[in-house]
């Protein structure tokens, strides 16, 4: 299957049909000024989609302002978004232009929108409805020409039902919904993401691009990647940083938790089969992987650690389908 590539979304590499549909939708909505709500687990690339929409729009030459609603203290968030006049409150020594005003002619990206305090939600609703703001301490209305994109890893419909999020604001934000699937559901993307992040990291670190063993692909695919693409990129960066120039990336370089995730997959294959023998095989496989990892895949040392003969270890590696160099 051919890799999908769109100008403005260069950092999003995929051959997954669902992810391709996400990019197609993002590309179409970029031609409009509609409000967009991007949902998906942490680390799936919501900010990349938001920035791609901005870069592919007629607003590309305008400002792109990011606001992390979960990172700014509640008492400061209103003044951060709307701005304030001098003397509006204690400590307001100088006038400050807010993020909405700073984004005029461009895009404002409201990340972690579910963290927005309920009291402030009504004010955001008014901004979206009227397309205008008043700085704190001012009666002057400032008209806005801003594209609003928001994102969350929390189900906002559930928050609405619990009374934590205003339903009218949710409908205003959810004009065009875009949901990004988690990496565990895009296993076909693992090989191209691997090559992309190897090349990207080596370029940043000015290191030679290494080859890699094909045996690491299924091991990487069997990991659930709770941190999604961000976790995947961080793991690859760590491997490249610690890898000696000229060495290929093999099973030895993968973190233990990734290798043991492959063992969990083996567990799932055998869990439907009752019997002590099958349970012993799962346990045995796990212990052999641990021994190999702790000895940097030195089979002689691993066999000594396990107190078995090297040939016995080799037979078990083959029998239990343990990845090797």
Domain total in the chain: 3
Q: Is residue 9 part of a domain?
A: no
- Asked whether 103 and 146 are in contact (CB, 8 A), the reply is yes
- Give the per-residue pLDDT at 264: 52
pLDDT tens figures, 232-275 = 999 999 999 999 888 999 888 888 888 776 555 444 444 544 56
Q: Are residues 109 and 27 in the same domain?
A: yes
Q: Are residues 245 and 304 in the same domain?
A: no
- Give the per-residue pLDDT at 270: 46
Q: Is residue 302 part of a domain?
A: yes
* Of 181, 204, 221, the domain-final residue: 181
Strand 141-143 to strand 132-134: parallel, antiparallel, or no bridges (unpaired)? antiparallel
Assign residue 228 the CATH number of its domain.
Answer: 1.10.8.60
Q: Are residues 284 and 268 in the same domain?
A: yes
Q: Are residues 66 and 150 in the same domain?
A: yes
- Rounded to whole angstroms, the Cα distance separating 82 from 321 reads 59
Residue-range definition of the domain harbouring residue 149: 17-181
Q: Is residue 86 part of a domain?
A: yes
Select from 1, 18, 3 the least CA-distant residue to 195. 3
Q: Is residue 7 part of a domain?
A: no
Q: Are residues 187 and 268 in the same domain?
A: no
Q: Are residues 149 and 194 in the same domain?
A: no
Strand 176-179 to strand 36-39: parallel, antiparallel, or no bridges (unpaired)? parallel
Q: List the chain pLDDT tens, one digit each, 325 residues.
A: 556 667 788 889 999 999 999 999 999 999 999 999 999 999 999 999 999 999 999 999 999 999 999 999 888 888 889 887 776 676 767 778 889 999 999 999 999 999 999 989 999 999 999 999 888 887 888 899 999 999 999 999 999 999 999 999 999 999 999 999 999 999 999 999 999 999 999 999 999 999 999 989 988 998 999 999 999 999 999 999 999 888 999 888 888 888 776 555 444 444 544 566 666 777 788 788 888 878 878 888 888 888 888 888 888 888 777 776 5
Q: Are residues 164 and 304 in the same domain?
A: no
Q: Are residues 86 and 157 in the same domain?
A: yes
Assign residue 301 the CATH number of its domain.
Answer: 1.10.10
CB neighbours of 22 closer than 8 A, spacing ≥ 6? 49, 178, 179, 180, 181
| pTM to 2 decimal places | 0.82
Q: Are residues 88 and 159 in the same domain?
A: yes
């Amino acid at each position: 299957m051919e890799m999908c590539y769109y100008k403005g979304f260069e950092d999003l590499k995929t051959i997954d049909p669902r992810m391709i549909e996400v990019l197609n939708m993002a590309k179409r909505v970029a031609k409009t000024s509609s409000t967009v709500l991007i949902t998906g687990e942490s680390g799936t690339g919501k900010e990349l989609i938001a920035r791609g929409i901005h870069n592919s729009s007629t607003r590309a030459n305008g400002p792109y302002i990011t606001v992390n609603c979960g990172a700014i203290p509640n008492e400061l968030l209103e003044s951060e978004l709307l701005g304030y006049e001098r003397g509006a409150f204690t400590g307001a020594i100088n006038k400050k232009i807010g993020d909405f005003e700073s984004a005029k002619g461009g895009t404002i990206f409201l990340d972690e929108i579910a963290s927005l305090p309920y009291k402030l939600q009504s004010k955001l609703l008014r901004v979206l409805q009227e397309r205008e703001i008043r700085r704190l301490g001012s009666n002057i209305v400032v008209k806005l020409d801003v594209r609003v994109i928001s994102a969350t890893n929390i189900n906002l419909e559930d928050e609405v039902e619990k009374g934590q999020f205003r339903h009218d604001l949710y409908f205003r934000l959810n004009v065009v919904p875009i949901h990004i699937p988690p990496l565990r559901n895009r296993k076909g993307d693992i090989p191209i993401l691997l090559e992309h992040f190897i090349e990207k990291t080596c370029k940043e670190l000015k290191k030679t691009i290494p080859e890699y063993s094909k045996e690491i692909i299924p091991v990487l695919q069997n990991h659930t990647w709770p941190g999604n693409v961000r976790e995947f990129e961080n793991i690859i960066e760590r491997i490249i940083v610690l890898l000696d120039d000229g060495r290929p990336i093999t099973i030895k370089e993968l973190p233990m938790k990734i290798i043991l995730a492959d063992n969990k997959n083996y567990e799932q294959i055998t869990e439907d089969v009752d019997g002590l023998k099958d349970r012993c095989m799962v346990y045995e496989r796990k212990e052999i992987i641990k021994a190999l990892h702790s000895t940097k895949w030195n089979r002689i040392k691993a066999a000594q650690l396990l107190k078995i003969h090297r040939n016995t270890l080799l037979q078990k590696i083959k029998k239990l389908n343990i990845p090797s160099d």
